[in-house]
Amino acid sequence: MIDGPNRRNIRPPPPPPPPAPKRETQPQQVANKPRGFSPASAFESPTSKRAPVALTTPFAARTDTPAFTPAAARTDGPAPAPGQHGFVGQTAAPAPGDPGFVGPVATPPEVLEASREVEQAYASGGAEAAAEELREQAEELDDPAKVDALISSSQETIDRLSTDLANGARENSVDQDTNREALRDLDATMNLAGEAGKDRVATSIAQKLADAIPAGSDQLWQFDDALGELAEDGIGSTLSARVAEKLINDFGRVEAGNALLNTSTDAINEVRADYEAKAEDLSKVEQRLNEELGQLGPALTPEEVEAYKEAFWERPENAQIRDEALAAGDKLSETLAASTEQLEALAAQGDTDAQKTLFESYSALAKTPNHADEALLFAGRINQNAGLANALRGEYGEDFEKKLADELIAPAVGNAQAEAIAEAGEGGFDAAMEKFASLVSGLETAQSLHDIPGDFRQMMDDIRAIRAGTYSPDQAQDLLNSWDDKSPLGKSLAVATFGLGLYDLPSQLAEGEYLEALKNTLTTSAAGIELTSGILSTIGKAGAAADVAKFGAKFLPILGLGADAIQAYQDIQALRDGVSPGDIFNLAGSVVSLVGDVAGFIPVAGTAVDVVATVLGETLRLVGGLLNGDFGPDLEDFDLGEVRDILHETLGLSDAEVQLLVANTKNGYGERLQELGLEPEQIRELLTQTEPPLFAFSGGLGDYVPFGNPNPMFETLAAFGLSGDEAFRFIQEHGDALAAFETVIADPYNAEASLGNALASGDFSAFREHALDVLPDDVADALRPYLNATPDTEYFEN
């Protein structure tokens, strides 16, 4: 009986293989994988390259079965002789020139030359020189198939190199520097190779180590020490994981294999830690962008929002943080993909380091939009591999399925869906649904997981029902009624249901009563606001990750939902009590960002432009209101230098104009002017006026500070029914009379003529007469033509 660590010698049924590293793209892949990361568009780097996703077919299981089965001997008479009818036997292979002749595949001359260079390097410089030359030649070939051919042609040299390293591990005769550099180069070569090349190198090293290291020994001297040193830089996991798996499962060197496996998991964990730190840095930058856009938004057109975002990410310091986070995520994906098949096999056999490394690394990838699909596919492999599922359950306890659902699958679903939508592009819902369905197919049928598959089947059914118009508002209400009891996965799947279900909704549903009924249900409760915020976050990532020039209008049903949610928050007191300003601010930030992405790519006239205009107005109006209260960025936390530079570049504003714009929007004046119906350009013109400044005071040295309170003037204009261009012209001419308007609103001796009484009674005549009596003659004369106009009572509802 084999017990303890030697159990790893028992090979379980081979698990389904993981996807190949994404750099090894297969030709059948249709679309490139998009960029994207967060509600504010984290990973929009135009310089970083990333291969499309490609899933490889499973490798054939090793077998001793003959390649052909001989024909059974005849039992009913003599066997036909060669040339007779019915003869079955070997036939001569076609000769050169005959039809069907296939000669040996010639090795490309550049590969043969590269192989000779590797051989010469070994002859002149030994193992370290040969490994370096092998890596350099592989980089020059830059083709996995050619690198595989190079490794095959150089097999004898690689075997000699492996023997030198293995003997050094046995005798402690190769110093750590030599081991480190040789192993670094071999690992790099394996990362450039295809599966066949990786397997050849790993087999060579494992075989020579097995020959050199006594059974039961884990003493590899400076061989594993060198790999441990490389692991500190996140290097070497491809080589160490594959060699470790072969030592354990092919050559019975469990202890030596475990020593190498430790270096593999250390390397992956180092890469993961680096990614998580860089992702945190990026999150802070994105939050700053949201704050800047939220505050300045009322004074920016949709096109100017987009220009601001572009300028923000073009700043070297912001671009560096974004690109480093993107590169770190790509490195984690590639490092994990290179060894995940071996780690999953070892995890299924009980190796706790492999189990933890897999779970924690895929949980990190779940939080990225351009690698979250890999996390979903990993979860699917767990469902389909009883050995792996049971081993993970043994490590994490009976609640493992809940841990998997809430910590890995829940964040992965929305990010993977955003990626599917962005990748689908002009293909719209059908292409996005096909991609998304392929990612979750491994989770729809209960195999090793019990509860999760049923939830995924329900999600897919509900998406199809929304598309068919058969998912009723009552069903949506039932979902919201149970919202507080839902797990993180339950909420994530609900967001995914509506995110994909409403995306690119057929016109007969989007333009009829069906969409309005769903929107009304989703925007009248705190649960609905939370759900809507999740939907907009997901769709915002898709918009940021893709070129929406050709399919931006497909986002419009969801943009309309966002506008309704923001309006509902303003109109329904219960929502103000049940929804935090922070949640609404995040919703607003997602919508502002997406509007910026869509701006300029919609029809010049018609429903589409109306929806975007409504969304932008409602969103930025809300954000301005939030910033005018207790929520929002403090000026000391607002990067004034960054804002100044960007507004210089995109709008040509002077330092003084930037200072005025930032201060006035901080006080909420932009939002109030927007409620009066002014356009962004008009708002910006008023708030940046310097000769004289309307709502600020200048000491004559170009330094402006807020002065006065224009809100009483805004309220008076609304009471007289002025809006849009009329309000804009009035403020231009009389905006310096702030003190007089304060008297109109705050006069304690005219209760019957107060604004409050007018709002309560609906009769504004007494208030208007009082205002004309109190205001200076020129101001009163400008208002007199509006004495009988319809008041703008909606202004006072916000």
> Residues 6 or more apart from 369 whose CB is under 8 A from it?
36, 37, 38, 42, 43, 415, 416, 418, 419, 541, 545
Lowest mean pLDDT among 258-272, 511-525, 684-698: 684-698
Confidence bin at 780 (pLDDT 50/70/90):
very high
Confidence bin at 400 (pLDDT 50/70/90):
very high
pLDDT score of 243:
93
The yes-or-no verdict on residue 594 having pLDDT over 50 is: yes
How many Cβ atoms are within 10 Å of 344's Cβ, its own excluded? Answer: 25
State the average pLDDT over residues 290-298.
80
Q: What angle do CA 604, 609, 614 make, to 5 degrees?
A: 150
State the average pLDDT over residues 389-399.
94
Higher pLDDT, 183 or 234: 183
> Residues 6 or more apart from 261 whose CB is under 8 A from it?
240, 241, 244, 245, 248, 346, 351, 353, 354
The yes-or-no verdict on residue 123 having pLDDT over 70 is: yes
State the average pLDDT over residues 104-113.
83
Q: What SS3 state is found at 542?
A: helix
The yes-or-no verdict on residue 288 having pLDDT over 50 is: yes
Which CA distances in Å does 486 have to 15, 70, 408, 413, 532?
32, 61, 16, 16, 16
pLDDT score of 601:
40
Inter-residue contact 46 to 313 (CB < 8 Å): no
- Find the helix or strand (DSSP H, E) in which 417 lies: helix 410-424
The yes-or-no verdict on residue 105 having pLDDT over 80 is: no
State the average pLDDT over residues 590-612.
45
Q: How do residues 562-585 score in pLDDT, each as one tens digit? A: 666 656 555 555 554 555 555 555
Confidence bin at 20 (pLDDT 50/70/90):
very low
The yes-or-no verdict on residue 18 having pLDDT over 80 is: no
**Backbone region of residue 541 per phi and psi (left: phi > 0; alpha: psi in -120 to 50; beta: other values):** alpha
The yes-or-no verdict on residue 258 having pLDDT over 70 is: yes
Higher pLDDT, 560 or 17: 560
pLDDT score of 712:
92
Averaged pLDDT of the chain: 78
Q: Are strands 696-698 and 704-706 parallel, antiparallel or unpaired?
A: antiparallel
pLDDT score of 659:
83
The yes-or-no verdict on residue 663 having pLDDT over 90 is: no
Chain position carrying tokens 């209760």: 751
Lowest mean pLDDT among 579-593, 621-635, 738-752: 621-635
Q: How do residues 617-644 score in pLDDT, each as one tens digit? A: 444 444 444 333 333 444 445 677 898 8
pLDDT score of 796:
87
Confidence bin at 792 (pLDDT 50/70/90):
very high
223's tokens:
């061989």
The yes-or-no verdict on residue 549 having pLDDT over 50 is: no
Q: How do residues 417-440 score in pLDDT, each as one tens digit? A: 988 888 888 788 899 999 999 999
pLDDT score of 91:
45
pLDDT score of 12:
39
State the average pLDDT over residues 474-482.
92
The yes-or-no verdict on residue 150 having pLDDT over 70 is: yes
Lowest mean pLDDT among 115-124, 591-600, 713-722: 591-600
246's tokens:
């072969």
pLDDT score of 89:
45
pLDDT score of 475:
93
pLDDT score of 110:
94
The yes-or-no verdict on residue 33 having pLDDT over 50 is: no
What percentage of the chain reaches a pLDDT higher than 90? 41
Give the torsion through C-alpha atoms of 496, 498, 504, 510, to 10 deg: 180
Confidence bin at 22 (pLDDT 50/70/90):
very low
pLDDT score of 454:
93
Lowest mean pLDDT among 3-12, 402-411, 490-499: 3-12
How many Cβ atoms are within 10 Å of 508's Cβ, its own excluded? Answer: 9
Chain position carrying tokens 């309309």: 560
Higher pLDDT, 6 or 129: 129
Q: How do residues 219-239 score in pLDDT, each as one tens digit? A: 888 888 888 888 878 888 889
Confidence bin at 790 (pLDDT 50/70/90):
very high
Confidence bin at 321 (pLDDT 50/70/90):
very high
175's tokens:
């110093």
Question: Buried b / exposed e across 48-82, counting CB within 10 Å, b at 16+?
Answer: eebeebbbeeeeeeeeeeeeeeeeeeeeeeeeeee
Rounded Cα–Cα distance for residues 755 and 777 (Å):
21
pLDDT score of 565:
63
pTM of the complete model: 0.71
**Backbone region of residue 106 per phi and psi (left: phi > 0; alpha: psi in -120 to 50; beta: other values):** beta
> Residues 6 or more apart from 311 whose CB is under 8 A from it?
646, 649, 650
